[in-house]
Amino acid sequence: MNNQDIKNLRRRYLLWLYKTTKEAFDKYERKFTQIDIDKDLLSEIENQLLGAYLPHDKTALEKFINQYRQYISDKEKACLELKYRGKKINPEFIFLDFKLNAVEKLIVKELGRRGLERIRDLYEEEMSGRILRSTEH
């Protein structure tokens, strides 16, 4: 095995470490960002609804809005239960946060800042691709 082979193996392992750690960490963080977006979306829908339909239409539409409000509430509750254990942050979340930071530092050490940016870009492309390829919903 030559030096380039070894460097490639190290790079791929760092890529794998980043991917697996980031996926686990995102499991916690994505729900909080989703809730923020869901709340903004609900606000936009409510604003559009106010002046757009006759009162008899609004009653039927409010059923869907109330269902969406409940969906957001349920998601927020589940999110808090995932990230917190009682009043303390879940130790796994703290560990993953530290681990992700450590992996990023190692990547910078081994591959430089541009290497880290490239890995972040690859991760984002992969996650976006998964969403676009998904047949759910």
Write out the H or E segment, with its range, that includes residue 54.
none
Residue-level pLDDT at 135: 78
The rounded distance, in Å, linking the Cα atoms of 129 and 127 is 5
> Which CA distances in Å does 94 have to 29, 83, 112, 124?
12, 9, 25, 22
Residue-level pLDDT at 52: 67
Residue-level pLDDT at 53: 64
Q: pLDDT confidence of 86, banded at 50, 70, 90? A: confident
For residue 3, what are its two tokens?
Answer: 């030096």
The backbone torsions φ and ψ at residue 124, rounded to the nearest 5 degrees and listed phi first, read -65, -40
The backbone torsions φ and ψ at residue 135, rounded to the nearest 5 degrees and listed phi first, read -105, 5
- Average pLDDT on 75-97 reads 90
Show the domain range for 72: 3-133
State the total domains in the chain: 1
Backbone conformation region of residue 112, classed left if phi is above 0, alpha if psi is from -120 to 50, else beta? left
pLDDT in tens, 20-73: 999 999 988 898 899 999 999 999 988 887 766 666 777 778 888 899 999 999
Query: pTM value?
Result: 0.81
Q: Contact 14/51 with Cβ under 8 angstroms?
A: no
The backbone torsions φ and ψ at residue 28, rounded to the nearest 5 degrees and listed phi first, read -80, -50
Residue-level pLDDT at 84: 86
Could you count the other beta carbons within 10 Å of the beta carbon of residue 110?
14
Residue-level pLDDT at 12: 96
Instruction: Check residue 87 and report its DSSP letter.
Output: T
